[in-house]
Copies of this chain bind each other. A is one copy, B any other.
Amino acid sequence: MIEVTDRKILRELQADSRRSAAAIGDVVGLSASACHRRIRLLEERGLIEGYGARLNAEKLGYAMTFFVEVTLSGQSETVLGEFERAAMARSDVLECYLTTGTADYVMKVAARDADDFERIHRRVISGMPHVIRIQSSLVMKTVKRWRGYSVG
């Protein structure tokens, strides 16, 4: 289990990972060094996997985001493994999940424009191993994102 103070630290770091141990300590009621010790421990325990910048997709040139549901021709280890390796390797695939439900995988894909998505759909995803069906949904509006887990 995670202690109350640790939860507060995680909440702060999730919202802004650039704050110093001293600043976070102020908020959670800990001295800078005690807070720093706890952060180190949270990293070592694997609760914190890393720190990253949140980038603006549009300003980066990615005008379109899609959810793509992919169905494969089978569910054997080999089939899944080969598909997953291909998904890992594609930089236009931002996220990829094996799911229950109608399809086998759900992927989040970033495209620069409609032509780019057409290319990704036709050349990239269709060409990934064992894919027999693709259904994509364009994200028209991002209502919520980056808000992270509720940690207390």
Question: Which residues does A use to contact B, with CB under 8 Å?
Answer: 2, 10, 13-18, 45-57, 59-62, 65, 67, 84, 87-88, 91-103, 105-106, 110, 135-151
Contacts and interface: CB of A to CB of B under 8 A. Distances in A.
A93 B144 contact: yes
B140 A55 contact: no
A149 B99 contact: no
A2 B61 contact: yes
Contact of A137 (B51, B87, B100): B100
Contact of A135 (B46, B91, B101, B150): B101
B52 A16 contact: yes
A60 B7 CA distance: 9
A48 B54 contact: yes
Nearest to A146: B52
A123 B30 CA distance: 37
A13 B52 contact: yes
A87 B105 CA distance: 24
Contacts of A84: 143
Contact of A150 (B16, B88, B92): B92
